[in-house]
Structure formats: structure tokens, C-alpha cells
Structure 1
Amino acid sequence: MLPYRKENKLLARELRNHATEAERLLWERLRRKQILNAPFYRQKTLANFIVDFYCAAAQLVIELDGSQHYAPNALVYDVERTRILEAMGLLVLRFDNRQVMQELDAVVQIIADAVRVRLIS
């Protein structure tokens, strides 16, 4: 397991206070155990990363990707980050901001399906 980075706790708080529109929209559908009574956290520190959303009960990470994630170096970083998180036993779902803004119900259904499967396993 990667070491915990204390400085990420402050950065996570800052990210929560400056969420993107897509993050705010999805958070409204994830908070307060709306999906199968499973609690979600936002801007959660895991190992040396800060993930956008995390459901510990389902060992599920949700990442929302803005345009900066499509730069070549960001793509490489995201692949490596996903590999590390998956090696920790986590399922990582990635959505781009446009999907959340335009297809919110479909995104929430994919998340709910993943939570259901992970809670049963």
C-alpha cells in the first residue's frame, strides 16, 4: 500500500470547496446514501491520491475527467493511477464531465449497477 500523504488532506478540503459543476451535480445524486444506502465521500484521500468520489462499502472510486485529463501526460498518469487503485482492490469508474452534464441519469445508473454488484460480491 502506498504511504498516506498528510498534505493531501488540506488539498482535498480545498478541492471540495472548489468543485466543478459536474462534480456538484453528481454529488447531489450520490450524497446521503441515495444509492442502495451506500455512503459516498467526495475528494477522498486514498494512499497518495485524492479521488473525486469514493464508496468504501463497495470499494468503488469514481473519477470525473475534465479536458485537462486528455493531455498526453495526463492520460499516462491516469492509467498508472487507475492501475494502482485497482491493485488495492478498488473498482475505478471514469466519466468525463460532459457525460455527467448531459447524461446524468445514465451515469448514476452505471454507478448504481456497480455498487449493487460490489455489495453482493
Structure 2
Amino acid sequence: MRSVDLPTHARAQRLRRDAPTAEKIIWRHLRNRSLAGHKFIRQSPIGPYFVDFVCRERKLIVEVDGATHSTASEVAHDLLRTKYLQQNGYRVLRVSNAAVRESIEGVLELILAAMEEQEG
């Protein structure tokens, strides 16, 4: 059995429990290999960061951004975070809460297209 860092595990559980509506919507379409058979996990730690959704096989991270990603300091933090994740081999795809709520099918197509780019 794999050792679990309890504070990390507890934080991941809290993030999943308190997920915004848009994250819950997208999760319904990503869980249980529902998107073209690809395995996604949510609120997973990668280095010092927790990512909303990750497909480790394709090294693709999907971040669902709401209004809290709009101030200068938040944008700067997101840039540092993205740079770290990219340096560790991940591609970061950012989608807005509004896009998820208004066009989940469009968001899923965007994710699939990003995964196909990773393939080639």
C-alpha cells in the first residue's frame, strides 16, 4: 500500500468536497475514463501545487478558472505555477467557469484536441 501524506491527502479531500460548480460539472464528464477512455484524477498534488484535473498518461492538466484568477497578483501566481508544471513535462489547459457552464461539449472537445496534440 502506498504511503499517503496525511496533510496533503486531507487537503485534496477538502478541495474535492468544496469544489465549485464548474469543477463538479466537468468532473462528471472526465471521471471513470468517460472521455475517450483517458484516466483523469482531480485535485492531485504535483510538486507544491494542487491541480484541478490531470491525465498523467498524457501529461495534461486542466485548470478551471473562476473570478479568483483575475488580479495582477493572481495572474502572476498562475504564471509561476504554469511554468513549474511545464518544466515538469505537463501541458496546462485553462478553461473558465463560464465556458464549462455554457458549453461543456466545447470544453470537452478542447480537452480532446489538446490530448491529440500530445499524442503526435
Cα shift at 1:18: 1.1
Structure 2 unmatched runs, 5+: none
Distance 1:6 1:49, change over 3 A: farther
Q: Which has the higher contact order (CA 8 A, sep 6+)?
A: 1
Instruction: Tell me the residue number matched to 2:14.
Output: 14
Amino acid at match of 2:96: D
Cα shift at 1:113: 1.3
Q: Deviations over 1:57-79 (max 9, x none)?
A: 11000101110111111110001
Q: Deviations over 1:15-62 (max 9, x none)?
A: 101111000000011111122211000101111100000000110001
| 1:90-109 equivalent positions in 2, closer than 5 A | 90-109=90-109
* TM-score (structure 2 length as normaliser): 0.90
CA contact (8 A) 1:36 1:116 kept: no
Structure 1 unmatched runs, 5+: none
Alpha-carbon distance between aligned partners in 1 of 2:104 and 2:40, rounded to the nearest angstrom:
17
- 4+ residue runs of structure 1 moved beyond 4 angstroms? none
Instruction: Tell me the residue number matched to 2:81.
Output: 81
* TM-score (structure 1 length as normaliser): 0.90
Alpha-carbon distance between aligned partners in 1 of 2:75 and 2:37, rounded to the nearest angstrom:
33
Instruction: Output the aligned Cα RMSD.
Output: 1.4
Instruction: Tell me the residue number matched to 2:49.
Output: 49
